[in-house]
Amino acid sequence: QLFWEKRLQGLSASDVTEQIIKSMELPKGLQGRVGPGSTDDTLLSAVASALHTSSAPITGQLSAAVEKNPAVWLNTSQPLCKAFIVTDEDIRKQEERVHQVRKKLEEALMADILSR
């Protein structure tokens, strides 16, 4: 289907207590208002799918035709978002976030081990 991401619209993940897990926030440079009824959650699903189904880089839609009529031309290997560029600063910030989360996980695991 051309707009397969629409099937996932309105669905969300939940934990074992059936509490809805808050969706992650997309970077500010990633603009998903391309295509009919496009939302940030739809874009997140499309980006996640593109990362899992292809090893090609994700660049977004590069044609101006998408802005005028998204049904005219779509690069089906790219999510429905405007073209974007990932900078070295973006990568550095993400690496720092990963480092912080790993440190918190290590602390939580050590606390769990010590409590036993």
The per-residue pLDDT for 58 is 84
Tally Cβ neighbours within 10 Å of residue 116. Answer: 4
pTM above 0.85, yes or no: no
pLDDT, residue 90, reads 87
How far is Cα 19 from Cα 30, in angstroms, rounded to an integer? 28
Query: What confidence score (pLDDT) does residue 1 get?
Result: 55
For residue 114, give the 3-state DSSP assignment: helix
Domain spans in the chain, listed from the N-terminal domain onward: 3-85, 87-115
Strand extents, DSSP E, the chain: none
Burial 3-38 (b: 16+ CB within 10 A, else e): bebbeeeeeeeeeeeeeeeeeeeeeeebbbebbeeb
Give me the average pLDDT of each 10-residue run along the chain (116 residues): 66 84 77 68 78 84 73 71 85 93 95 92
pLDDT of residue 107: 95
